[in-house]
Amino acid sequence: MSTLATLTNHQIRLAARPVGMPTRANWQSTTEAVAEPAQGGVLLKTLALSLDPAMRGWMNEGKSYIPPVGIGEVMRAGGVGQVIASKNPGFAVGDYVAAGFGIQEYLTLAEADFKRSGLVKIDLNVGTLTQWLNVLGMPGMTGYFGLMDVGQPKAGETVVVSGAAGAVGQTVGQMAKIKGCRVVGIAGGQAKCDWVVKELGFDACIDYKAGPSAVKEGLKQHCPAGVDIYFDNVGGEILDTVLTRINRGARIIICGAISQYNNTTAVQGPKNYLSLLVNRARMEGIVVFDYADRYHLAVAEMAGYLKDGRMKSKEDIVKGLDTFPEALIKLFTGENFGKLVLQVAEA
Amino acid sequence: MSTLATLTNHQIRLAARPVGMPTRANWQSTTEAVAEPAQGGVLLKTLALSLDPAMRGWMNEGKSYIPPVGIGEVMRAGGVGQVIASKNPGFAVGDYVAAGFGIQEYLTLAEADFKRSGLVKIDLNVGTLTQWLNVLGMPGMTGYFGLMDVGQPKAGETVVVSGAAGAVGQTVGQMAKIKGCRVVGIAGGQAKCDWVVKELGFDACIDYKAGPSAVKEGLKQHCPAGVDIYFDNVGGEILDTVLTRINRGARIIICGAISQYNNTTAVQGPKNYLSLLVNRARMEGIVVFDYADRYHLAVAEMAGYLKDGRMKSKEDIVKGLDTFPEALIKLFTGENFGKLVLQVAEA
């Protein structure tokens, strides 16, 4: 290993708030010397970063569930990496960790910031590095607690999930299958649909790109008993269409609205929301951080399913810190296939 | 009393489905002879009918929580009246009852239809005839179970209710006060606002007609700790504005959307629905019929509050069966002040 003094940290910072889809002009590349950790602190090397739809929201000004990324700040991102210098007895050089790395090659963390950064050791015997960003990471936790706590699935119910091949969607669908539900995905393109059915075991998957009434017709065909739970990652027209097919007492989990994040006009509200009244149904939001004290339980359960083959995962790995601006866009055009990961260095 | 043979039943039937606001052209007046009750049946004389926003929905074709009124059928309406002939030992001439009378002067009910029609005896020592259409009737039950079961208010929380001076709103607000909440109404015009504050004891009331930002500014002023429960009777812009002020874990009860019922274009979906995500909040529909087996409990509780003065009621009484078409419109223009009742005959 090179001595710390010779290490340069490449970073990507938010240069300007985007209007609509982000472009290169919204980002700024910077370099700075890597700082030695203070007493109690650690120096981490970034190995892989999680690229998530929620990032688009963090780029906007205004009140949300967490503050926006400030102009000039390193872009916020969760990731996995390795301890390369430690002045803390709890962490040894070589330990693998997950933390809020940000889009950069190194992170020097003071002990006081461990908690805020979500620093935890991860065990590569439990899951691979990229699985720790996927089913065992934030997307997996989001899918697990959104489905289980907000959705409360019962065996025999019909669960529909949009963004089915994405990070959250694959966890939701597989967990719902394990809990005995009928599971219908919605995804863009035949390849993704084939994968969630053939590899993940969903009962069916609707290709929303197959035509203007593909979702409507697909729901009629594949949900003959209606929809009991809809896990919504996309919003927009798809949410409105599912609302016309829900059952009495249905639960709609609002996890995101990726179809609306780059709007330059107002978000499209669900014009069929009165279906909630007719069907005595519920639409409820979820933010994963609320479940932090139970992450370990979900990780333990799903790691077991990964081991025994009842659960699979797929990551779409893009390489190189500098590809971040273009890689992020893949989420909004639906080009990623599986959980989108930015690999920054070799493990 | 005249003999049955000489009685003529005046009725108002649905002649055509309205587009937008209903007009006289949507209705047809008919008369027919009053039928003698069969063995086990009763003949009822209508005294007063409940006019409700939900009626507008029953006039539309299409699936809802109950079937639409058919073209040529007597318009559906709940009401109160008196038994004037009985071939059933459970009902004596002179008994006061509530039932699904329809917009007509008499109703002959076969025993097999008692349940479907919701026939029950009512006690005028518990509440007045018109209170049995208001706080002790369907609107009161809707407000009670919507607030208590779906909203689950806790003392100290802030409850906002739209249509505050209406039948459902007055029950919701007074129940929330009794349960120790801060209550802010939204109503049209200073007179209604003054009444809910001065007579019903709401903490504040916002006149949504006072200006384009009246609701936004009013919520800022009167809900300094945000909104924990919003009981929505109106939908549209007001729902969207309240969504910007909800607290973490807020509950929004979707009871109706009177602002949208006469739309000739699509319903306006709540474009701020992602506030549910940010705030881990819930939007849930209620249909009162689901609580039928517990109506008697709510009636007993609220009759007590009426007796001890903790609860008041206000009915807006319009006279004469033939005024029905114009009376109904008052609900949608907001002209009614209190629960709208059509008095058909003197008690």
Using a CB-CB distance cutoff of 8 angstroms, which residues of chain A are in contact with residue B271?
Answer: 266-269
* Residue B294 within a domain: no
Contact flag A284-B281 (C-beta cutoff 8 Å): yes
Using a CB-CB distance cutoff of 8 angstroms, which residues of chain A are in contact with residue B232?
Answer: none
- The upper half-sphere exposure of residue B130, i.e. CA atoms within 13 Å in the direction of its Cβ, equals 19
Q: Are residues A120 and A29 in the same domain?
A: yes
* Residue B308 within a domain: no
Contact flag A274-B254 (C-beta cutoff 8 Å): yes
Name every residue whose Cβ is closer than 8 Å to that of residue A293 and which is 6 or more positions away in sequence: none
Q: Are residues A194 and A226 in the same domain?
A: yes
* Residue B297 within a domain: no
CA distance A63 to chain B (A): 9
A197-201 long-range contacts (CB < 8 A, ≥24 apart) are: A199/A312, A199/A314, A200/A170, A200/A173, A200/A174, A200/A312, A201/A174, A201/A177
Contact flag B269-A240 (C-beta cutoff 8 Å): yes
Size of interface A-B (CB pairs under 8 A): 107
Number of domains in chain B: 2
Using a CB-CB distance cutoff of 8 angstroms, which residues of chain A are in contact with residue B286?
Answer: 277, 280
Range B139-143 average pLDDT: 96
Amino acid A5: pLDDT:
66
* Residue B298 within a domain: no
Q: Are residues A219 and A207 in the same domain?
A: yes
Using a CB-CB distance cutoff of 8 angstroms, which residues of chain A are in contact with residue B68?
Answer: none
Using a CB-CB distance cutoff of 8 angstroms, which residues of chain B are in contact with residue A263?
Answer: none
* Residue A260 within a domain: yes
Q: Are residues A145 and A269 in the same domain?
A: yes
* Residue A295 within a domain: no
Number of CB atoms found within 10 A of residue B89's CB: 7
Q: What's the token pair of residue B110?
A: 């076969």
Range A257-278 average pLDDT: 90
Q: Are residues A114 and A67 in the same domain?
A: yes
Contact flag B290-A268 (C-beta cutoff 8 Å): no
**With b meaning 16 or more CB within 10 Å and e meaning fewer, what string describes A153-181?**
beeebbbbbbbbbbbbbbbbbbbbbbbeb
- The size of chain B, in residues, is 347
Q: Are residues B100 and B153 in the same domain?
A: no
Contact flag B267-A271 (C-beta cutoff 8 Å): yes
Q: Are residues A122 and A201 in the same domain?
A: no
Domain at A245, CATH number: 3.40.50.720
List C-alpha distances in Å: B117 to A22, B68, B76, B81, B112: 59, 15, 10, 13, 10
Using a CB-CB distance cutoff of 8 angstroms, which residues of chain B are in contact with residue A269?
Answer: 240, 268-273
Q: Are residues B332 and B241 in the same domain?
A: no
Amino acid B265: pLDDT:
84
Name the region of A198 (left: φ>0; alpha: ψ -120 to 50; beta: rest).
alpha
What does the pLDDT look like over A69-88, one tens digit per residue? 999 999 999 999 999 999 99
Residue range(s) defining the domain that contains residue A89: 4-134+314-343
Residue after which a domain boundary falls, among A289, A305, A323: A289
Given pLDDT bands bounded at 50, 70 and 90, which one contains residue A62? confident
Q: Are residues A180 and A267 in the same domain?
A: yes
Q: Are residues A126 and A152 in the same domain?
A: no
CA distance B5 to chain A (A): 42
Contact flag A276-B268 (C-beta cutoff 8 Å): no
Q: Which candidate, A189, A185, A222, places its Cα nearest to that of A201? A: A185
What sign does the dihedral A99-A101-A106-A110 (CA atoms) show?
A: negative
Using a CB-CB distance cutoff of 8 angstroms, which residues of chain A are in contact with residue B280?
Answer: 284-287, 290
* Residue B319 within a domain: yes
Contact flag B65-A285 (C-beta cutoff 8 Å): no
Contact flag A281-B280 (C-beta cutoff 8 Å): no
User: Which of B56-65, B207-216, B298-307 is predicted with the least confidence, judged by mean pLDDT?
Assistant: B56-65
Percent of chain B residues past pLDDT 70, beyond the cut: 99
Q: Are residues A57 and A191 in the same domain?
A: no
Say which DSSP state A137 is in.
Answer: S
User: Which of A57-71, A147-161, B181-195 is predicted with the least confidence, judged by mean pLDDT?
Assistant: A57-71
- The size of chain A, in residues, is 347
Q: Are residues A164 and A267 in the same domain?
A: yes
Name every residue whose Cβ is closer than 8 Å to that of residue A46 and which is 6 or more positions away in sequence: A79, A81, A101, A104, A105, A106, A107, A321, A344, A345
Contact flag A283-B284 (C-beta cutoff 8 Å): yes
In whole numbers, what is the pLDDT of chain A averaged over residues? 95
Q: What's the token pair of residue A321?
A: 């810190």
Using a CB-CB distance cutoff of 8 angstroms, which residues of chain B are in contact with residue A257?
Answer: 274, 277
Domain at A27, CATH number: 3.90.180.10
CA–CA gap between residue A190 and residue A207 (Å, rounded)? 6
Amino acid A28: pLDDT:
97
Q: A interface toward B at CB cutoff 8 Å? A: 63-65, 235, 240, 254-257, 260, 266-287, 290
Adjacent-strand bridge partners of A207: A187
Best residue of A273, A275, A287, A291 to probe chain B, by most B CBs closer than 10 Å: A273
CA–CA gap between residue A215 and residue A238 (Å, rounded)? 7
Q: What is the DSSP string of B118-151?
A: T-EE--TTTS-TTGGGTTTSHHHHHHHHIIIIII
Judged against a pLDDT cut of 50, whether residue A106 lies above it is answered with yes
Given pLDDT bands bounded at 50, 70 and 90, which one contains residue A1? very low
What does the pLDDT look like over A114-127, one tens digit per residue? 999 999 999 999 99
Judged against a pLDDT cut of 80, whether residue B2 lies above it is answered with no
* Residue B181 within a domain: yes
CA–CA gap between residue A331 and residue A343 (Å, rounded)? 16
Number of CB atoms found within 10 A of residue B206's CB: 25
